[in-house]
Structure 1
Amino acid sequence: MDGKRNILFVCRRLNIAGGKERVLVNTASFLADSFQVGILQLTQADSFYPVGTGVDMYHIEASNAFGKRSIAAKLRGFIQDIKILRRFMQDHSTDVVISVDYFVSWMFVLGTLFSKRPYLLIGWEHIGYNNPWVQGLGRKLKNYILKQLDHLVVLTRHDADIYNKMGIPVTTIPNAKSFESIVKSNLEQKRILTIGRLSPQKGIDYLLDLIVVLKDRLHGWKFILVAQDDLFTVDELKQWIAEKQIGHLIDLYPPTSKIVDYYLQSSIYLMTSRNEGLPMVLIEAMECGLPCVSFDCETGPADIIQDGVSGKLVPTFNLERMADSVLALTDDATRKMMGVNAAASVEKFSLERISKQWQGFLNATKKKAEC
């Protein structure tokens, strides 16, 4: 051992082509220069994104407790998973555990309720606090779990202010750009790009409704959707597209590790999410010089897009305003001016800048642990 602090990231799995997974892999990889870094998956899966050679990879075989049908089966599976995780942690010494998922934080907290943790437990939230999918009792349980952590990392100051008021130690560290692109889109292709999982959160239903609104107003433009099965499937999506009679306006593609090509071959990025944390797709699109149009959901887009400068922020779920914003960017001069501004504006998310924030934060936690 070379005396470096041991940092262990814990997640469900890495074989998903998602922003959270890409950020985790990139963050772990650049921290491996300064720390001994590992990633633990709750199930064995090959990472969709390449992992740095300095990162140690581990997995356990959790039972997917929440996928069980009955409450009793869920409870048995959850207890079993906690025991498996505890055995792993007993066999692998670490200084800091960073939970990349609220479900994972839950397992760690409940697994150490009656014992002292020999490591700092840090939660890393990737979704906004006011997530509509976590309400009522679920919200109370989540707040309880987060209060048991040693620290919490969030993506926006908006959420940090909320957690501060709850008495939770919190630090804001935005996501870093996942790549640098010297080449920018020439913004001459009549292609409007959207990338996302097929879940209610991503608002693909609003995207389809928007295309219906625009189908007689856009001339020569195509919508490009890179979609991944989630709560809905691509087959279901194709059925909805057929029902709305917009198949001639939209092309579907599967997830790919070469997503940069899609950005560079498009001219506008469009996001219709109901809620977000700090959406990587907007940062990536702007890195490639694309102006973005997005619903101004509570957290995320406004931290990235400057309305009227690098793109358009639209009142949430207002399809007519969204349609007008897309049409405004079909003007060549407007689109290219905003594209230049977009590329310049995401320098604040550079890997060098964000890595220094992570290093400073982790070094500060060491000093606190030694007190």
Structure 2
Amino acid sequence: MKIRYLLLHAYGTGGTIRTVLTQAGWMAEAGHEVEVVSAVRRRTTPGFPIPNGVRLCALVDQRAGIAAPRLHSRVLRRLRGHVVPRGEPAAAYFTPEVEAAIARWMRGLSEGVLVTTRPALNLLAVRHASSRVLMVAQEHMNYASHRQAVQRAIRRGYGRFDAVTVLTETDRADYERVLPGARIVRIPNAVHPMERALADHTSTIAVAAGRLVPQKGFDLLIPAFQRATEAHRDWRLRIFGAGVKRAELAALAAPRVELMGRSDAFHRELAASALYVLSSRFEGLPMVMIEAMAHGLPVVAFDCPTGPREVITHDVDGVLVPPQDVDALARAITELIEDEPRRRRLGAQAVRTVEAYSTRTVAPKWLELFNNLQTARRGVDHTPLS
């Protein structure tokens, strides 16, 4: 069958991009005709390798004006299209030109499976995609984290999809509640396949990673780590990632905290660390945390909505603390710093836990979903899907 994945910016380096490219690679390996389509293009070279057998193309090439959305965001907001709600975090990307290009492309599809990967793209598919195409909406963030305007649009539009896929059981329950009768399927993201060296539990390095934005809660993590290491001044916290809050976080960062930027060898950084900290205010399914667990790192995480509790069993393969409780986070970090045997015990179980997020576990779920949708469609109209 033909399977098309539509991303906002497939040439970037975000977690959703990496996950979707991995999925596309699985489908190509299974013998399907796979295309990844980028709504916009702002880089010449993709941030991640494109899997063998996967075709990549873009609808709107913005390389000549790559800085425009940041330099002229007020102008872009006035030039917003008509479908994407203002509360969608990437709404500024969806100018009339971009929305029109996506609409033309979607209207030209007449077969196969279309997978859209964020609310803005999902809502455009509801408006413009042909009923001859099997439509699958991916949600990479939890329903409750969306702003009210986006939630209203989801409730109005997502019922048209052949399936809506979510990452956690909590989110499946939320979507089943607001979309009665819709097909809601929980398929977690898979850990990116790689050779994994196990963590060095004798290290004095803690690690965290993510975009430097309020969601990730690094403004809470930095003071928590400082408190935790007042009596352990040989310990260091390394925060990997880039984003709009870098300057503010740099002002908070003290001698034992380092803002590392992006890393092309992050798996090596994980292996060189003794524990991982997730300080997010909310999540979809925190894949970097799961990758850390795959390296045998014990995790201390805010019990935020959603994701950490779906993966971690408290004091079995990690530690959960109340959301945004800086004191509790500091205490949990201190306890792990002072207890190397516990770090080893939690890390060993973490490796076993994340087997549920391996490629060999997750990939068949996508194949089963697409095959089931294709069979159901054929049973209704007897029209084969290419």
Q: 2:187 aligns with which of 144, 165, 173?
A: 173
SS in 2 for 1:60: strand
CA distance in 2, matches of 1:219, 1:237: 20
Aligned length: 355
CA distance in 1, matches of 2:25, 2:76: 39
Structure 2's unaligned 5+ residue stretches are 63-68, 83-93, 381-386
Q: How far 1:345 moved relative to its partner? A: 1.2
Match of 1:332? 340
Q: Is the 8 A contact 2:228 2:331 kept in 1?
A: no
Amino acid at match of 1:41: S
Q: How far 1:257 moved relative to its partner? A: 3.2
Q: Cα–Cα, structure 1 residues 70 and 88, in superposed 2: closer, same or farther, change >3 Å?
A: closer
Match of 1:190? 204
Match of 1:38? 35
SS in 2 for 1:302: helix
Map residues 69-218 of structure 1 onto 2, 5 A cutoff. Answer: 69=75, 72-75=78-81, 78-90=95-107, 94-112=111-129, 116-131=130-145, 134-165=146-177, 166-167=179-180, 168-218=182-232
Match of 1:316? 323
Q: How far 1:235 moved relative to its partner? A: 3.2
Identity %: 23
Q: Cα–Cα, structure 1 residues 302 and 137, in superposed 2: closer, same or farther, change >3 Å?
A: same
Q: Is the 8 A contact 2:199 2:271 kept in 1?
A: yes
Q: Is the 8 A contact 1:328 1:334 kept in 2?
A: no
Amino acid at match of 2:80: K
Q: Cα–Cα, structure 1 residues 332 and 212, in superposed 2: closer, same or farther, change >3 Å?
A: closer
Q: How far 1:73 moved relative to its partner? A: 1.6
Map residues 274-313 of structure 1 onto 2, 5 A cutoff. Answer: 274-313=281-320
CA distance in 1, matches of 2:276, 2:111: 41
CA distance in 1, matches of 2:18, 2:183: 26
Q: How far 1:103 moved relative to its partner? A: 1.1
SS in 2 for 1:74: coil
SS in 1 for 2:222: helix
Match of 2:369? 361
Map residues 3-82 of structure 1 onto 2, 5 A cutoff. Answer: 5-34=1-30, 35-44=32-41, 45=43, 46-61=45-60, 67=73, 69=75, 72-75=78-81, 78-82=95-99
CA distance in 1, matches of 2:135, 2:104: 17
Range moving further from structure 2, 68-77 or 295-304: 68-77
Amino acid at match of 2:279: T
Match of 1:341? 349
Q: How far 1:27 moved relative to its partner? A: 1.1
Q: Cα–Cα, structure 1 residues 91 and 147, in superposed 2: closer, same or farther, change >3 Å?
A: closer
What TM-score does the superposition give when structure 1 sets the normalisation length?
0.89
CA distance in 1, matches of 2:252, 2:256: 13
Q: Is the 8 A contact 1:48 1:257 kept in 2?
A: no
CA distance in 2, matches of 1:326, 1:253: 20
Q: How far 1:101 moved relative to its partner? A: 1.1
CA distance in 1, matches of 2:27, 2:332: 39
CA distance in 2, matches of 1:186, 1:214: 20
Q: How far 1:94 moved relative to its partner? A: 4.1
CA distance in 2, matches of 1:349, 1:255: 24
Structure 1's unaligned 5+ residue stretches are none
Amino acid at match of 2:322: P
CA distance in 2, matches of 1:138, 1:10: 19
Q: Is the 8 A contact 2:226 2:256 kept in 1?
A: no
CA distance in 2, matches of 1:129, 1:347: 26
SS in 2 for 1:299: coil
What TM-score does the superposition give when structure 2 sets the normalisation length?
0.86
CA distance in 1, matches of 2:282, 2:272: 27
Range moving further from structure 2, 347-356 or 116-125: 116-125
Map residues 261-280 of structure 1 onto 2, 5 A cutoff. Answer: 261-280=268-287
Q: 1:228 aligns with which of 242, 245, 257?
A: 242
Amino acid at match of 1:302: R
SS in 2 for 1:218: coil
CA distance in 2, matches of 1:352, 1:103: 30
Q: Is the 8 A contact 1:82 1:111 kept in 2?
A: no
Amino acid at match of 2:324: F
Amino acid at match of 1:287: A
